[in-house]
Each structure stands twice: as C-alpha cells, then as structure tokens.
Amino acid sequence: MTDVPTPAAVLDDTPPSAAQTRAVEEAIATRRSIRAFLPTPVPEATIRRILAVAARAPSGTNTQPWKVYVLTGEAKERLSTRVMAAYDDPQELATHAEEYDYYPVEWKSPYIDRRRKVGWDLYGMLGIGRQDKARMHAQHARNYRFFDAPVGFMFTIDRIMPKGSWLDYGMFLEAVMVAARAHGLHTCPQQAWARFHRIIMPMIGASADEQLVCGMALGHPDWSRIENSLVTEREPVEGFMRFVAQPSAGDAA
C-alpha cells in the first residue's frame, strides 16, 4: 500500500481546493448505519486500502491498539450461523453477556430520548409495533448476518490496554467508516456482536489476551430497502458547543 497518503506528503500550508474540502466533508457527513446490503463482493485490495488509510488514525504515543479480523464467504457464514443459533435459543442466550458496559445502568435525558427515537423511527419504517416482540427479535437478529453484507469485521484490543486506548480505538473505527465512503461503500458498526465473544473469539482465531470490541458490516447498500432511508438526527452545534471566551482587559478582576 505504498500509494496511501501519509503526513509526510503534506509539508506546507497550501490550502485545500474547494473540491478537496467538499470530498472530506461528504465522506464524513454521508456516513450512516446501513442495515441492508447487496451481495456485491468487495475486492480484497479495497479492504486492505481502507484499513491502511484508517491506520493513520491517532493513538496515544502511537500505540495503535487495534486488531482487525476480516470475514467473508464461508467463514462469515459459519460465524453467523453459530451466533444466530445462540441468539434464537433463550436458554443459551441467557449465558452470554458483554465484557464491558456500553450503555449506562440508569438512563437520563437527553440520551434516553435519542435512543428511543431512533429505535421507534426504525421500527416504524419497518411496520414493527411496540408489542411485536417476535419481529423485534428477528430484526435485531439481522445484526448477526452483518445485514447481508459481503464483508464482516471483528475488532479486538489487547486486554492490558486501558480506557485511553478505547478512545483511540473509536477514532480508528470512525476512520474505517469514512475511508469506506471514499470507495463508494457503506458500513454499520455493530456492538451487538460483543455479547457473543465466547463464541466469536475462538472462531476467528483470537488469543485469550484479546477482548472483542465490536463488529462492523461493509459493502454496497441495498437502497430498495426502506430501513436504509433512515437518517438519524444530530444536535445542532449550538446544543453541544460553548466558546470559552477570555475576559477582556477592561473586565473587573
């Protein structure tokens, strides 16, 4: 991957062109979670390039705490079949749990409001009612088929790496998703896989020193599927940003 850009390639302050600015902004802003993919294969060279670009993500003292397992074809199908069997068996399902807390134990506004809205917006599109537990179960189960994407990623981290490295990992995951957009591809990051780490880790050949972070689907969206028309809302900048102004010279001490 010798043609992947590096920081050394930009050694001056030449401003980017309007087209370059637009391309970066579009790659970030058009990223969305796709929940139905076409079977169109993604070339191995494209997967490798996406990961090579994403590896430029920052990490504290360049620790680069990410490890990636790429699943396609029969390997992906075997994993999906095994996890689906566990998910559909209530007794076995009860024996599986995540190794880390992803959501708070006690919710409060505005977080619970946003969570509920995106859930009911999706289910509403799919015609799934609030009491339709069987269809909710079936829709969630699509996670474990990578929403039919031809490529599935599993991301792991060394167990010795603390919370700061998980911050680094989040930047890497975002970089993967944005780099995919540069190739006309879409993704769906999937924490849902973490519950089944005891099944997944041996099947992908991960060591006992590694912890499963999440999975991710990669491929071409099936735009005929209504769930892919969902666009989640974002808080306006004024809602989460505050300029901390320095007092002027004339202000009282």
DSSP assignment of 63-117: ----EEEEE-HHHHHHHHHHHHHHHH-HHHHTT---SS--S-SS--TTHHHHHHH
Report DSSP state, residue 41.
Answer: -
Dihedral-angle region of residue 28 (phi above 0 means left; psi in -120 to 50 means alpha; beta otherwise):
alpha
Residue 182: inside a domain: yes
**The predicted structure's pLDDT at residue 248:** 67
The two tokens of residue 218 are 């990669």
The residues, any chain, with a CB within 8 Å of residue 37's CB and separated by 6 or more, are 146, 147, 148, 149, 150, 186, 217, 219, 220, 221, 222
Structural domain including 189 reads 32-101+145-225
Q: Specify the CATH number for the domain of residue 210.
A: 3.40.109.10
Residue 202: inside a domain: yes
Number of domains into which the chain is organized: 1
pLDDT tens-digit profile, the chain (253 residues): 557 877 777 777 889 999 999 999 999 999 999 999 999 999 999 999 999 999 999 999 999 999 999 999 999 999 999 999 999 999 999 999 999 999 999 999 999 999 999 999 999 999 999 999 999 999 999 999 999 999 999 999 999 999 999 999 999 999 999 999 999 999 999 999 999 999 999 999 999 999 999 999 999 999 999 999 999 999 999 999 999 987 766 665 5
**The predicted structure's pLDDT at residue 251:** 60
State phi, psi for 35 to the nearest 5 degrees: -120, 20
**The predicted structure's pLDDT at residue 11:** 73
Residue 25: inside a domain: no
Residue 153: inside a domain: yes
HSE (side-chain half, CA atoms, 13 Å) at 214:
17
**The predicted structure's pLDDT at residue 249:** 65
Residue 77: inside a domain: yes
Report DSSP state, residue 99.
Answer: S
pTM of the full predicted structure?
0.94
